[in-house]
Amino acid sequence: MLKEIINIKNISVKIASFIDMTTKSKNTDSNKPQDPKRRDFVVVTAGSVVAVGAAATAVPFVTSMNPAADVKALASVEVNISGMQPGDEKKVMWRGKPVFIKYRTPEEIKEATEVNWEKLPDPEPDSARVKEGKEQWLVTIGICTHLGCVPIGENAGEHNGWFCPCHGSHYDNSGRIRKGPAPKNLAIPQYSFVDDNTIKIG
């Protein structure tokens, strides 16, 4: 029995010694200075992995934000103006908004250009609202700048342009506000002449 107790004690001492040596070895390793090159390599590698993962996630997300083909088609509209005569007016829809296209007579152009535009509520010369060489054509968004109603055309109002029946705003044949609560002229959309018979809006 005595021998067994002694053997158990010896084993306990050996185990304790082994644990103590292992602990010292770990403490000694932890006190050693780390290799800066190894640390930089780890940081760069981790950063690269994160960057690649972010890019892989971002690409499909950005792609999903691009407009669909049918939406792009609605971004512009081509209007045939070949059948219009001086004095005529046409209304088309573009991006859910009414657009007025007016074929102005020489008399209307003269009236619009002779106005003292600097004294208008929203000063703007007629030349800034039409295309050079195509002054007979006025293209404007048909939404009153007061509260968004659609004005009446066909030389309506006190200035032979458009009249908004909602609150009484009067626009001239250049689409400029002349009387009433509207603060701004009728907006001019982006447009161009594809040829003499076609206007592209948008």
| DSSP summary character for residue 184 | S
Give the CATH number of the domain where residue 96 resides.
2.102.10.10
Q: Among 13-22, 53-62, 187-196, name the one with the lowest average pLDDT.
A: 13-22
Cα distance between residue 202 and residue 200, in whole Å: 6
Same domain, 117 and 31: no
Cα(122)–Cα(10) distance, integer angstroms: 104
Distance of CA 196 to the CA centre of its chain: 31
Top pLDDT among 146 and 75 is at 146
Interatomic CA distance for residues 101 and 87, integer angstroms: 11
pLDDT-derived band at 145, boundaries 50, 70, 90: very high
Q: What local confidence, expressed as pLDDT, does residue 157 receive?
A: 95
In this predicted structure, the answer to whether residue 10 has a pLDDT above a threshold of 60 is no
Is there a single domain that holds both residue 124 and residue 142? Answer: yes
Last residue of a domain, one of 27, 50, 65: 65
Mean pLDDT across the stretch 88-106? 97
Residues 96 and 25 in one domain: no
DSSP-assigned beta bridge partners for residue 179? 170
Do 172 and 154 sit in the same domain of this protein? Answer: yes
- Residue 142: the pLDDT is 98
Helix (H) or strand (E) holding 71: helix 69-73
End residue of a domain, out of 25, 44, 65:
65
Identify the domain containing residue 82 by its residue range. Answer: 72-201
Shared-domain flag, residues 174 and 123: yes
Give the chain's domain count: 2
Same domain, 127 and 61: no
Residue 73 has pLDDT above 60, yes or no: no
Are both 183 and 102 inside the same structural domain?
A: yes
Q: How far apart are CA 49 and CA 32, in angstroms?
A: 28
User: Which residue, 17, 45, 65, sits at the end of a domain?
Assistant: 65
Q: How confident is the model at residue 89 (pLDDT cuts 50, 70, 90)?
A: very high
**One domain, residues 163 and 94:** yes
> Dmax over Cα atoms in the chain, in whole Å?
131
Same domain, 128 and 51: no
Residue 149's pLDDT is 97
Same domain? 61 vs 78? no
Expressed in angstroms, the distance from the first to the final Cα of the chain is 104
- Strands (DSSP E) contained in 8-51 are none
Averaged pLDDT for residues 31-46: 53
Q: What is the pLDDT of residue 12?
A: 41
Look up residue 141 and give its two tokens: 């968004």
Q: What is the DSSP string of 103-167?
A: E--HHHHHHHHSS-GGGSSS---GGGSS-TT-TTEEEEE---TTT----EEEEETTTTEEEETTT
Would residue 146 show up in a list of annotated catalytic residues for this protein? no
Instruction: Give the model's pLDDT for residue 11.
Output: 40
Handedness of CA 108, 113, 115, 121 (dihedral sign): positive
Same domain, 98 and 154: yes
Residue 152, pLDDT score: 97
pLDDT on residue 148: 97
The mean pLDDT of 128-155, rounded to a whole number, is 97
Q: Considering the candidates 146, 159, 167, 170, report the single residue annotated as catalytic.
A: 167
On whether both 60 and 77 belong to a single domain, the answer is no
* pLDDT score for 147: 97
Q: What is the mean pLDDT of residues 107-131?
A: 98
